[in-house]
Amino acid sequence: MEERYLRYNHLNEYLKNKFGERTLKICVDAGFSCPNRDGTCGTGGCIFCGEKGSGEHLKTYKTIKKQILEFLNSYRAERANKFIVYFQNFTNTYADLNTLKNRYDSAFIDNRIVGIQIATRPDCINDDIARLISSYSKEHYVCVELGLQTSNNTTAEFVNRGYYSSEFTKAVKILRSYGIDVICHIMIGLPNEDFDDTKETISFINMHDIQGIKIHSTYVIKGTKLYELYINGFYIPISLEDYLEQLTYVITHINPNIIIHRITGDAPKDLLVTPEWNLHKKLILNGLDRILRENNLYQGCYFK
């Protein structure tokens, strides 16, 4: 087993243990919008978010079924026999219940699809939505990914997140009351934030009953408001050294039972402006492994 699997709870190993074999995600764009784009709670979206949300590489004009079939018929599907459909772009609980059900239903095209993962915002979770999502758990694995990014409400307002962190607490309670696994998404290196903000965010997360975490570096892509801040000298991206230091803190202080889904974000190569090191995933993986190994650190060793 790789060293990193021994130092922290790696998603690949978790899925292998859960489903008995390697299980991969299929990312889809289900055609949803976002409440801080259409004027419900704001316009323009988060300042780091591109025109297509977090899935800039996906093809919006294709149906969910077609996106899944294209993946399953490609070389990528040869690496596994089981798959989780990941509803990635924008807010995937932002619609009426009938629309949500129809789109979730369309993911289960055959028995190779063993679950769905739904990315959304905490302010777009309620009992009716949670009840619908939980209905799939009778036969499939389901989980919901909540984009927290930071617990700092001042930063949240600056990046145009559109909700207070108290909404995250409320959403987690609702989802967990229906037995739905919760994945928290955070970003390191947001504008005006420092190491102390990361520490506060991890302390905040540890107070919640969550089952997974995605840790992303903040990167600048073309066409975003963060790009405008960067080219005008109002934003300096985090260095690889600083990111690894804060990432190590997250791993060593997060609840040891939480599954680590990601330790960095994958920026689209054709849109990335900075930092350049974000394109080199092995630098981050190997860098974290080295720090943990050389200092005999592991997930949750400083968790309280």
DSSP structure string for the chain = --HHHHHS-BHHHHHHHHHSS-EEEEEE------TTTSSSS-SS--TT-BTTBT-TTS-TTS-HHHHHHHHHTSGGGGG-SEEEEEE-SS-TT-S-HHHHHHHHHTT--STTEEEEEEEE-GGG--HHHHHHHHHGGGTSEEEEEEEEE-S-HHHHHHTT--S-HHHHHHHHHHHHHTT-EEEEEEEES-TT--HHHHHHHHHHHTTS--SEEEEEE--EETTSHHHHHHHTTS--PPPHHHHHHHHHHHHHHS-TTSEEEESS----TTTEEE-GGGG-HHHHHHHHHHHHHHTT--TTTT--
Q: Number of structural domains, the chain? A: 1
Q: What is the pTM of this model?
A: 0.93
The 10 Å Cβ neighbour count of residue 73 is 9
Whole-number pLDDT of residue 244: 98
- Asked whether the beta carbons of 188 and 152 are under 8 A apart, the reply is no
Alpha carbons 193 and 285: distance in angstroms, whole number? 23
Inside any domain, residue 300: no
Alpha carbons 20 and 113: distance in angstroms, whole number? 14
Alpha carbons 92 and 119: distance in angstroms, whole number? 6
Inside any domain, residue 299: no
Whole-number pLDDT of residue 164: 96
Whole-number pLDDT of residue 60: 56
Read off the CATH number of the domain in which 189 is found.
Answer: 3.20.20.70
Whole-number pLDDT of residue 6: 82
- Asked whether the beta carbons of 184 and 205 are under 8 A apart, the reply is yes
Whole-number pLDDT of residue 55: 46
Q: Range of 98's domain?
A: 3-294
Residues of the chain falling short of pLDDT 70: 1-5, 42, 51-61
- Asked whether the beta carbons of 197 and 152 are under 8 A apart, the reply is yes
CB-based contacts of 75, cutoff 8 Å, min separation 6 = none
Inside any domain, residue 264: yes
Inside any domain, residue 304: no
Tokens read off for 263? 């330790």
Which residue, 69, 75, 56, 88, is CA-closest to 221? 56
Whole-number pLDDT of residue 129: 98
Tokens read off for 187? 């970003």
Inside any domain, residue 168: yes
- The C-alpha angle with vertex 106 and arms to 177 and 68, in degrees rounded to 5, equals 110
Inside any domain, residue 220: yes
What is the end-to-end Cα distance of the chain in Å, rounded? Answer: 28
Q: Please give the C-alpha separations between residue 69 and each of 110, 142, 214, 232, in angstroms, as whole numbers.
A: 10, 20, 26, 43
Which residue, 202, 142, 210, 146, is CA-closest to 176? 210
Alpha carbons 8 and 297: distance in angstroms, whole number? 9
